[in-house]
Every structure is written in structure tokens, then in C-alpha cells.
């Protein structure tokens, strides 16, 4: 079982965990292996993208990690690190941005890659004007 959170997440640790998770991705169709590592109120969780022959049933690494965390009792997302084996970083897709916002409306989002470039931002910058729980009254 994951530990309860401690201080701020170690970005180097999360980046290594995301890269390791990418190696476990199931991506036989696109061969685009993505890994994510997240820091929550229950500690560290990882996820990889999982493709399906029926493409619409595939799941991104970020959501895989978040769903695993929620299943373990986590409810607050502090940081998401995404790794792609590309020369430049790739930001989360729209669906992932929405799910990240649900559990971490102030979450830090870092995209890293095989190259040296990084995107380091917050979810509210990636998803301005987001629809969230507060909008339901």
C-alpha cells in the first residue's frame, strides 16, 4: 500500500518512475509508449498507456495512474509527471487534463522526454476555464 504523502514530491524520482512506467506500456498499434508518475495524498502511483484494437477503448498513462490512485483511496493530486520517448515533451491530452483537474485543480504538470526539454506548468494553465466539481453547485 502506498505511503501517506510527505513533503513536496521529488521531481527527479517522479521522472524516473514515469520513464520506467513507459517501458511497461501496452502500445502494439502506435508504438507510442507513455508513462506517468503522480504524487497524491496517498503517495506515488504510476501508469502506462494501454491500447486496444478498438482505439476508443484505449487509456492514457495519466488516467491509468490517477485511476489506480483513486482505487487505493487517494483523492488529492499534487503533481503529474509524464514521460514520452520523443525528442520533445508532449503535454497531456484533453481527457487527461480534465481528469487531472478533477483531483488536482492546482496540480503541477511536468512533461519530460528522451531529450532535455521539459514543460513545467500547472493544470489551470493547460485547461483554462476548466469545468470542475464546483460548477455542479
Instruction: Go through the chain and tell me how many residues it has.
Output: 137
CA 129 to chain centre: 20
CA-based angle 64:5:10, to the nearest 5?
80
Is 62 marked active-site?
yes
Strand pairing of 108-113 and 119-122? antiparallel
Of these residues, 31, 62, 78, 106, which one is catalytic?
Answer: 62
In the chain, the DSSP E strands lie at 35-40, 43-48, 77-84, 108-113, 119-122
Q: Which positions are annotated as active-site residues?
A: 62
Amino acid at each position: 500500500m502506498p505511503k501517506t504523502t510527505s513533503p513536496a514530491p521529488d521531481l527527479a524520482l517522479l521522472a524516473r518512475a514515469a520513464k520506467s512506467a513507459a517501458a511497461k506500456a501496452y502500445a502494439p498499434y502506435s508504438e507510442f509508449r507513455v508513462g506517468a508518475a503522480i504524487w497524491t495524498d496517498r503517495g506515488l502511483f504510476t501508469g502506462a498507456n494501454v491500447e486496444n484494437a478498438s482505439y476508443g477503448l484505449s487509456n492514457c498513462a495519466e488516467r491509468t495512474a490517477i485511476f489506480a490512485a483513486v482505487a487505493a483511496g487517494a483523492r488529492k493530486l499534487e503533481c503529474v509527471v509524464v514521460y514520452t520517448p520523443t525528442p520533445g515533451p508532449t503535454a497531456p491530452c484533453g481527457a487527461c487534463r480534465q481528469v487531472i483537474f478533477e483531483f488536482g485543480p492546482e496540480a503541477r504538470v511536468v512533461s519530460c522526454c528522451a531529450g532535455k526539454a521539459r514543460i513545467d506548468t500547472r493544470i489551470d494553465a493547460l485547461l483554462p476555464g476548466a469545468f470542475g466539481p464546483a460548477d455542479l453547485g
